[in-house]
C-alpha cells in the first residue's frame, strides 16, 4: 500500500534529488543532483513523497504561492514503480491538494515526453499553451490545465 505524505527530512530530500537527476525527463534536460536538491528544498514549495512500506517510490512538488497558483512543478516515479499506478496516485493526491485551494491545476510537460502527456490527457488535462525552446533547443514545454471552474464567479 502506497502512502503519500509531506517530505520529512534531508534524507528523503536527497532521495528525491537523486531520482530526479538520474531519470527522464531530467537527464535530457541536464538537471544535476545539486540543482534537483535545490528545487526539493525550496522553502516556498510543498513536497510530498510516496513510500510503499519502507521503499521510496516517487514524489511531487507543488507551487501554491506566486504568479501561477496551483502548479504541479514536478512529478517523479522511480523506474521500477513506473506503470504500477504510483504516478496516478501522486497525480490524484496533487489534484486533491490543489483543488482544495484553487480552481485550476497547471503543469508543464516536455514535448519529448509523450508518455507523461498521454497520462495527463487521460486524466482530463488540456494543452493550453506551448513554450518553444524553453528548457532545451528544439523542444517545447506544453502548459496543461485541468479545471473545476473559473477563478472568479460573479452573480448576474
Domains of the chain: 2-147 (3.40.630.30)
Q: How far apart are CA 143 and CA 67, in angstroms?
A: 14
> What mean pLDDT comes out for the span 90-107?
96
| Confidence (pTM) | 0.92
Whether pLDDT at 155 is above 80: no
**Of 78, 71, 75, 141, nearest in space to 112 by CA:** 141
Q: What is the mean pLDDT of the segment spanning 85-101?
A: 95
Asked if 109 and 73 count as a contact pair (C-beta separation under 8 A), the reply is: no
Cell numbers linked to 34: 545539486
Write the DSSP symbol of residue 53: T
pLDDT score of 149: 85
pLDDT band at 68 (very low <50, low <70, confident <90, very high): confident
Amino acid at each position: 500500500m502506497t502512502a503519500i505524505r509531506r517530505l520529512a527530512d534531508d534524507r528523503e530530500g536527497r532521495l528525491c534529488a537523486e531520482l530526479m537527476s538520474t531519470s527522464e525527463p531530467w537527464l535530457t534536460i541536464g538537471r544535476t543532483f545539486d540543482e534537483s536538491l535545490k528545487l526539493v528544498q525550496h522553502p516556498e514549495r510543498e513536497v510530498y513523497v510516496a513510500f510503499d512500506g519502507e521503499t521510496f517510490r516517487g514524489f511531487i512538488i507543488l507551487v501554491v504561492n506566486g504568479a501561477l497558483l496551483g502548479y504541479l512543478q514536478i512529478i517523479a516515479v522511480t523506474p521500477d514503480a513506473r506503470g504500477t499506478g504510483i504516478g496516478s496516485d501522486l497525480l490524484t493526491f496533487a489534484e486533491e491538494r490543489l483543488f482544495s485551494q484553487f480552481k485550476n491545476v497547471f503543469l508543464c510537460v516536455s514535448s519529448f515526453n509523450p508518455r507523461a502527456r498521454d497520462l495527463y490527457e487521460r486524466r482530463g488535462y488540456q494543452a493550453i499553451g506551448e513554450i518553444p525552446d524553453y528548457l532545451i533547443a528544439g523542444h517545447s514545454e506544453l502548459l496543461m490545465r485541468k479545471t473545476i471552474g473559473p477563478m472568479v464567479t460573479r452573480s448576474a
